[in-house]
Structure 1
Amino acid sequence: MKLKKGERIPEFKLSDHQEEEVSLEKFEGKNVLLSFHPLAWTSVCRNQMQALEDNYDQFEENNTVPLGISVDPVPSKRAWAENIGLENLRLVSDFWPHGDFASKLGIFIEEKGISGRVNILVNDQGEILWAKEYDIPELPDIDEVLKAVSDNA
């Protein structure tokens, strides 16, 4: 993973599971956690997204917006959000061009057609405050994520 603290991520405009546009400029004055997961409808990805949902108030208390991002299309993200009971967390689609944002970040796994499992905390200017890559089957430690969020609030 080539993501380094202090570097800027590329600008992006994607759609969430409710077909609303998502970009950093929409979160002025807030930090954003870009929580990449390989694919919807898998158990580790479900647990990763539910951990963000279950701790949504702690993100808000630390002026941070968590976003769940994968290469799945919007209709799949919408159905999955309903299936796993998400009420606050926005699921973002990096579907078309397929994995383009993940590719620009250097975390797209071309041979599998998925992004890696990566958490990237950025400020509203896109500067990386913290980033961690995980093995595909590994569930990110939500306590570690929340500590990174609070340390950078």
Structure 2
Amino acid sequence: MENPIMIGATAPDFKLQDNRGNMLSLSDYTGKKVLLSWHPLAWTRVCAEQMKSLETNYARFAELGTIPLGLSVDPVPSKNAWAKELKIANLKLPSDFWPHGAVAKAYGLFRELEGFSERANVIVDENGKISWVKIYDIPEIPDVEEVIQQLK
């Protein structure tokens, strides 16, 4: 893995399809904070808990002017089926499938050996700058309360 993106850097823009097949880009959210929550692979327990915590706290993120996004290298059909299985209604799950992991690579979060991203949370501020980065051990569920504290 290269070095993760640094606090204060301009967040690389991207254009990806979400789990519902809609295109979205980081620049769509200029003026809001964005939480980029990377999970290595859909259909795994820890990743499911990570995404469910974002869905459960979706209204709290909205109160803090923040759009949470759940990114992984899984293809759109897989992410869509997984979101339905997890009963995710609000959270968007962008697919960094092709070019494989290109967005994770742009943020220095791609694990070349395994072919997926780190488990990481990155907060992008209203001006498109990185304000917080945390990389977790793969088996660790990120603490959503810690993320919310960073947004306050």
For the superposition of Structure 1 and Structure 2, which TM-score range results when normalised by the shorter chain? over 0.9
Residue in 2 that maps onto 1:18: 20
Q: 1:102 aligns with which of 93, 101, 104?
A: 104
Q: Which amino acid aligns with 2:54?
A: L
1:87-119 superposed Cα distances (whole Å, 9 cap, x missing partner)? 100011000000011011111001101000010
Cα distance in 2 for partners of 1:141, 1:32 equals: 17
Residue in 1 that maps onto 2:48: 46
Q: Which amino acid aligns with 1:117?
A: R
Is the CA contact 2:30–2:128 (under 8 Å) kept in the aligned structure 1? no
Listed as ranges, the matches of 1:1-153 within 5 Å are 1-150=3-152
Cα distance in 1 for partners of 2:4, 2:97 equals: 22
User: How far apart are residue 123 of structure 1 and its match?
Assistant: 2.0
- TM-score, length-normalised on structure 1? 0.95
Gaps of 5+ in 1: none
Q: Which amino acid aligns with 1:118?
A: A
Cα distance in 1 for partners of 2:151, 2:35 equals: 8
- TM-score, length-normalised on structure 2? 0.95
SS at match of 1:93: coil
User: How far apart are residue 25 of structure 1 and its match?
Assistant: 1.9
SS at match of 2:147: helix
Q: Which amino acid aligns with 2:131?
A: L
User: How far apart are residue 126 of structure 1 and its match?
Assistant: 2.3
Is the CA contact 1:24–1:124 (under 8 Å) kept in the aligned structure 2? no
Q: Which amino acid aligns with 1:19?
A: G
Is the CA contact 1:24–1:125 (under 8 Å) kept in the aligned structure 2? no
* Aligned-pair identity (%): 51
Compare 81-90 and 8-17 and name the one that shifted more. Answer: 8-17
SS at match of 1:90: coil
